[in-house]
Structure 1
Amino acid sequence: MEMRASEAIETLGLDLTPQIPPLSFSLFDTFLHSHCSSCFISLSNPNSNPNPSSILYYCSPHCSKLDSHRHFDSGEHHLLSHILQSPQYPTTWEGDTSDLRAALRLLHHFEEHPGTHKPDRINGLLSNRERMLEKSEEFRDGLVRVREGGRLMSLARRMRDGDFNGFDDNVAEESVLSQVLTNAVEVQVSEQLVVGVAVYGPSFSWINHSCSPNACYRFSLVGSETLALDCGTEEELRISAFGDEEIVKNVTILRDSAGLCHYGPRIIVRSIKPIKEGEEVCVSYTDLLQPKATRRTDLWLQWQFICNCTRCSALQPTYVDRVLQENAAPNLGWDRSFDTDESYKELAGFFDEAISEYLSNGSPETCCNKLEFMLIQGFWEEKLQIDPSLLSPKFHPLHFLSINTYTTLASAYKIRANNLLAAHVEADCHTIQAFDLSRTSVAYSLLLAGAVHHLFLSESSLIATACNFWISTGESLLRLANWRLSDISHSSVLMQSLGKCSLLQKLESEMGFSRSQTFSTKTEFEKISKGFTDCVSRISLNVWPLLTQGHQYLKYIKDPVDFGWLRTTNVGVAAVFATETCPCCYCVDICCCSCGVEASERKGDRSGVFQLGIHCLLYGGYLASICYGRHCSLTGHVRNLLCGGDNETPFVS
């Protein structure tokens, strides 16, 4: 089954579906007492529960009224309060129980709304139970988990009914649990916070995966007291089902889109590329910054299919996939004798080992030392045997292991700085050392964002990842510049200079500071992205030396945004941006070089850090407005940083 566009979609950031309420949902165990189990909104007073008889917490009596009966009638209450809490019912189930609880709720939903069933589908939703049984040796661990989960679900339902006379084979419970494992998505309520899982009907669940998707999805959390009973059915559904006619006929997509739950975290599918009428609409199920072999392995283990999307089935690897596994950058002193397959396999294992050790012993300093030496030399054990002056980097700076390492190092250096400040509040020497650690953290954040941006220019489906990294980098740069975020708008000198930048003015308009509603076309999107690349490349010319001064590895990175210094053939960028001209020549009125915003010529001037941070924040917010809408949490976060909480006041006049 698949979903196709019912009309041509020319703009980016257009909702393809109305808000779709879930068929079933559940919070992760760790959020059961901090978030409402009905609407997933964070509780203002976690110690107050409108329904004391329930183990779940709710934000209001209305939410409690909507959800409490499902909690009890599905058997979820018995699972949580009796079975999993009593030694009388030993179990091999380990970890979070959200999948079990969502499956109990989904099975109860199917009992309330009977539909058509096939061996591999219930009410149109795919279940992989039959496939797992056919290949039991290959999916042994998954099958063991499904069978144990089905047993616990059956026990909870029998305890609910007070019926312990005989046990069936738990086929229904196992099938529905398999449905949850196959179709559930994690509900992300902010950049880094995933609070639970939800299962949606065919209008979302029939959207297939692609490693080069043309759509993404966002969530809408609304307190149930404000929900309209019709759940927004007047909104337009711009996609339609395609596939087995019998299955399509027996599933009412529009009714599913209107929702049968009438509450819970809603999902909306949005366009991130132009889509032709009749073209399949796809989203991503996995991390798109991993190489093809890793992506395929992850998809097979989780969903039991081999991806044959255009990116995976290309006769020649795409530019992004080629660079993610690139061995070394030519003509730059990178060690090209490095054996790609075996050495990188060993280094991947070493990286995982270093991360595991970091998580277990909590030493960010050891983690930084190991990972940075790995970037340069390859193996930690060689550190005492080689003169550091003779070292040359083993990793290509855009290799997927390098990108993963930058992510960890940015976080680890930030933790080191915070720990040092917390331990030595009034010591000036430690403040200076903490600043140096923060400076290195920001450098890795900028390098990470720049590396992903370089790949994003060739594969625009990386937009969600790029927006998160640019926002994080922008915030880190502003903090490093030592300005109070709430006082940014009062810096008149910087306001006057930044106000000359037409790119910033355009980004503000696209982010929603203006009241008019606009949508980006592909041409406008490319124009803005190219202008942004030129702006930040020029500003970073003087900021980058400040951030990397005295650093053993970062000194090899000539420019963290414009990777032309690698002398690679960027086929992908040429494919996306058809012009081969200098970035500042294609549109003289959109980049900083022509409108007066330039980095300070004095190395170390913090105004350059500030300018760079503003550009990163606004561009990240612009990308977020495409992925998630103008009023999402990320764009709101950017507006708060730039306006000190006054979202109505534009930052650039």
Structure 2
Amino acid sequence: MEMQARKEVGLAQDLIPPLPPLAAALHRRFFSSHCAGCFRPLEFPFPCAGCRGVTHYCDASCCAADFPAHYSSGECHFLRLHHEGDSSDIRAALRLLHFLESMGSLPSPSLPERPRRVAGLLASDLDKVLEEGGELAERITEGATLMSVARDRDRSQVTGGQEAVTTEEVLWAVITNAVEVHVNEVGALGVAVFGPGFSWFNHSCMPNACYRFELAQRSGGCGAYELESFLVSPAAAGLATESFNAWISGENKLAHGFSNIGPRVIVRSIKPIQKDEEVCITYIDLLEPKCDARELSFNNYSNSTYPNCEELADLFDQAMDEYRLHENPEACSKKLESMLYRSSVDQESQAGEKFKLHPLHHLSLNSYITLASAYRAQVFSMDESNNTECLKLERAAVSYTLLLAGVVHHLFLSEPSLIAVTAHFLINAAESILVLLRLPEWSFDKKLCKSEIDLIICHYPKDMMEFSLDKCRDASMRFLGSVSQILFKTWPYLTQDLTNLKNIDSPVNFNWLGSKVLNPQCFASHRELSDFIEKECVEDRYLGHRLIKDQNTRLFQLALHCFIYGRYLASICYGPECYLVHHAENILHGLCKHLLTKHS
């Protein structure tokens, strides 16, 4: 199905109100720390007596509100039988199946001319998946059997027939339609399945919208969902459109069966959207090779089909095995550094053409991510008294974190769909710098640092409720201009022990790669990007109060720019009340409080 805008939509506007799920299930690792109903952190855990305290709730009212979905679905009995391994997809399927039964809306026999759907969720090709076999087919058949046992509480044997077919279909619908629920920085809390108001958005590698989650108030209901409040409708005519309209307007009784306490999803525009334009989100990581529409594989020499690229991919996999399987971050970092060094030198391919791995290639990006993590892991395992070696490793971790953020931001200037991942990497880079600055060798002028926070905050848009493409462009140019000047002095210091990075002049300005590699189109105005950065740098040098006297102050300024600009981008794609914005604000507030306390 296509979802099209019914009217023009500007940058950073919510397209649908908070939409509750058909079913949601908390990941097992959060059973002791989060409520199984509303997903909120627990203060005074209220255990479920039915599953012998495996799951917990905020209080008795939250437990009572979730009781039909938890107990009557068979989830409670399932958890008494299976105590290990994550089973969130199976438990979400149990809840979804119970919901459909309670609404009298079990899947009807499919027709050849129509795709198979369960509660509006696409569930086609199940027979093909089961026929092909493999891990996925095994997961479906075993999961469906476990669901039947959990639902059949009075008997020990599974009764086949229609029951088994139904559980397989519902589990397949969950596997293909469920999304991970992220509401804080700890990662995905669980999975949730939403109706056509969300599930009918198509995927794009250059989406114009993204989605976020928020948690419902413990005492709140699902509220009314009027058709007029939605800015999207399915493009396909006929029964699909009628079904969607009925769902949204509440004429379909399924609309009244939403969870009252589960996580809500909100879809938000990250680009201006024209009337009748299709609204798309992404289903996968936009930096994955299969979603790379930018044709940036190599530095004007070759493409990813050459054997050399396969050889480098093998080296990367070997390095990852050292990290994940053998828990040896030092060996992992050495292998990746060797791989990047080999790829930085021109090589002859079997076809006799020049081959050179591009710094923006997906293998390079994955290497930066892994190296930042591997170097930091080495610091954690070292003796704290070895300050010199710790400082060296932390500098390496910061260097690769900054390079990753800079590369992704560079791509974002050409394709705004990368705004969400750019915000995450920028804030992560800022946190990495702060870890470096906390090492014993560093000291601060607390008064100067407090003034820098106030000054840099004023450097970016103050009103997070009003967004425009022009304001976003200006903020991006200001960020590049400011950090380019800072990195002119700090980048050589950070990379002094890293041979592979000495050839990279800057982690944010990639003009040295040549104009043919990537020419930012979306946010670049009629002026050249390099001209804008140069002018910003001159202004920075001109302002006396912005003069930087020492290295740690420069790094502190760099961290502040990444935090505040990253927070601004996050507020565009997720809204000013999202967890990532709050996370950045909490860190900034903590810095201000710490500096004021120390200074006084």
Report the TM-score range of the alignment, normalised by the length of the smaller protein: 0.7 to 0.9
Q: Which residue of 2 aligns with 1:194?
A: 188
User: Structure 2: where are the runs of 5+ without partners?
Assistant: 111-115, 345-353
State the alpha-carbon separation in 1 of the partners of residues 381 and 463 from structure 2. Answer: 38
| Counterparts of residues 58-69 of structure 1 (less than 5 Å) | 58-69=57-68
State the alpha-carbon separation in 1 of the partners of residues 452 and 119 from structure 2. Answer: 59
Q: Secondary structure at the match of 1:509?
A: coil
Q: Which residue of 1 aligns with 2:351?
A: none
After superposition, the CA RMSD in angstroms is 3.3
How many angstroms does 1:456 deviate by?
0.9
Q: Which residue of 1 aligns with 2:375?
A: 413
Say whether 1:214 aligns with 2:208: yes
Q: Which residue of 2 aligns with 1:253?
A: 248
Q: Which residue of 2 aligns with 1:398?
A: 360
How many angstroms does 1:258 deviate by?
7.4
Contact 1:439 1:480 in 2 (8 A): yes
Contact 2:481 2:532 in 1 (8 A): no
State the alpha-carbon separation in 2 of the partners of residues 581 and 236 from structure 1. Answer: 41
Select the residue among 423, 439, 452 that pairs with 2:408.
Answer: 452
Contact 2:413 2:522 in 1 (8 A): no
Q: Secondary structure at the match of 1:456?
A: helix
Say whether 1:542 aligns with 2:489: yes
Contact 2:123 2:173 in 1 (8 A): yes
| Counterparts of residues 293-442 of structure 1 (less than 5 Å) | 294-295=290-291, 318=293, 321-323=294-296, 325-326=297-298, 328=299, 341-377=306-342, 394-420=356-382, 424-425=383-384, 427=385, 430-442=386-398
Say whether 1:33 aligns with 2:28: no
Q: Which residue of 2 aligns with 1:515?
A: none
Contact 2:415 2:522 in 1 (8 A): no
Assess, with a 3 A threshold, how the Cα gap between structure 1 residues 590 and 124 changes in structure 2: closer, same or farther: farther
Contact 1:459 1:572 in 2 (8 A): no
Q: Which residue of 1 aligns with 2:119?
A: 123
State the alpha-carbon separation in 2 of the partners of residues 398 and 8 from structure 1. Answer: 34
State the alpha-carbon separation in 1 of the partners of residues 228 and 576 from structure 2. Answer: 18
Deviations 1:379-410 (A, max 9, x none): 9xxxxxxxxxxxx9953211110100000111
State the alpha-carbon separation in 1 of the partners of residues 43 and 68 from structure 2. Answer: 23
Contact 1:215 1:283 in 2 (8 A): yes
State the alpha-carbon separation in 2 of the partners of residues 16 and 337 from structure 1. Answer: 42
Assess, with a 3 A threshold, how the Cα gap between structure 1 residues 599 and 481 changes in structure 2: closer, same or farther: farther
Assess, with a 3 A threshold, how the Cα gap between structure 1 residues 33 and 249 changes in structure 2: closer, same or farther: same
**Letter paired with 1:271:** S
Q: Which residue of 1 aligns with 2:462?
A: 509
State the alpha-carbon separation in 2 of the partners of residues 5 and 508 from structure 1. Answer: 28
Assess, with a 3 A threshold, how the Cα gap between structure 1 residues 374 and 506 changes in structure 2: closer, same or farther: same
Q: Which residue of 2 aligns with 1:263?
A: 261
Q: Secondary structure at the match of 1:67?
A: helix
State the alpha-carbon separation in 1 of the partners of residues 283 and 200 from structure 2. Answer: 13
**Letter paired with 2:119:** N
**Letter paired with 1:345:** E
Assess, with a 3 A threshold, how the Cα gap between structure 1 residues 9 and 523 changes in structure 2: closer, same or farther: same
Say whether 1:469 aligns with 2:425: yes
State the alpha-carbon separation in 2 of the partners of residues 644 and 248 from structure 1. Answer: 50
Contact 1:41 1:223 in 2 (8 A): no
Q: Which residue of 1 aligns with 2:232?
A: 239
State the alpha-carbon separation in 1 of the partners of residues 198 and 427 from structure 2. Answer: 28
Say whether 1:284 aligns with 2:282: yes
Assess, with a 3 A threshold, how the Cα gap between structure 1 residues 375 and 646 changes in structure 2: closer, same or farther: closer
Contact 2:28 2:85 in 1 (8 A): no
Assess, with a 3 A threshold, how the Cα gap between structure 1 residues 363 and 231 changes in structure 2: closer, same or farther: farther
State the alpha-carbon separation in 1 of the partners of residues 453 and 491 from structure 2. Answer: 20
**Letter paired with 1:70:** A
Assess, with a 3 A threshold, how the Cα gap between structure 1 residues 616 and 575 changes in structure 2: closer, same or farther: closer
How many angstroms does 1:506 deviate by?
4.9
State the alpha-carbon separation in 2 of the partners of residues 127 and 495 from structure 1. Answer: 56
Q: Which residue of 1 aligns with 2:89?
A: 99
Q: Which residue of 2 aligns with 1:561?
A: 508
Q: Secondary structure at the match of 2:86?
A: coil
Assess, with a 3 A threshold, how the Cα gap between structure 1 residues 243 and 229 changes in structure 2: closer, same or farther: closer
Contact 1:535 1:592 in 2 (8 A): no
Q: Which residue of 2 aligns with 1:176?
A: 170
Contact 2:26 2:39 in 1 (8 A): yes
How many angstroms does 1:185 deviate by?
0.3
Contact 2:103 2:257 in 1 (8 A): no
How many angstroms does 1:97 deviate by?
1.0
Q: Which residue of 2 aligns with 1:5?
A: 5
Assess, with a 3 A threshold, how the Cα gap between structure 1 residues 526 and 532 changes in structure 2: closer, same or farther: same
Assess, with a 3 A threshold, how the Cα gap between structure 1 residues 551 and 64 changes in structure 2: closer, same or farther: same
State the alpha-carbon separation in 2 of the partners of residues 267 and 498 from structure 1. Answer: 33
Contact 2:315 2:335 in 1 (8 A): no
Select the residue among 634, 642, 653 that pairs with 2:580.
Answer: 634
Contact 2:148 2:158 in 1 (8 A): no
Contact 1:22 1:199 in 2 (8 A): yes
Deviations 1:172-218 (A, max 9, x none): 11111111011100011224511110000100001110000000011
How many angstroms does 1:338 deviate by?
10
Q: Aligned residues: percent identity?
A: 38
How many angstroms does 1:248 deviate by?
2.9
**Letter paired with 2:88:** S
How many angstroms does 1:363 deviate by?
1.4
User: Structure 1: where are the runs of 5+ without partners?
Assistant: 86-93, 296-311, 313-317, 331-335, 380-391, 512-517
State the alpha-carbon separation in 1 of the partners of residues 355 and 387 from structure 2. Answer: 31
Tell me which moved more, 17-26 or 238-247: 238-247
Q: Which residue of 1 aligns with 2:347?
A: none
Assess, with a 3 A threshold, how the Cα gap between structure 1 residues 496 and 645 changes in structure 2: closer, same or farther: closer
Q: Which residue of 1 aligns with 2:152?
A: 158
Contact 1:532 1:619 in 2 (8 A): yes
How many angstroms does 1:586 deviate by?
9.4
State the alpha-carbon separation in 2 of the partners of residues 590 and 340 from structure 1. Answer: 41
Deviations 1:531-577 (A, max 9, x none): 21121112111010110113221112111110111114255413542
State the alpha-carbon separation in 2 of the partners of residues 343 and 57 from structure 1. Answer: 53
Contact 2:409 2:422 in 1 (8 A): yes
State the alpha-carbon separation in 2 of the partners of residues 100 and 497 from structure 1. Answer: 51
State the alpha-carbon separation in 1 of the partners of residues 304 and 216 from structure 2. Answer: 53
**Letter paired with 1:185:** V
How many angstroms does 1:117 deviate by?
3.8
State the alpha-carbon separation in 1 of the partners of residues 13 and 229 from structure 2. Answer: 11
How many angstroms does 1:233 deviate by?
6.4
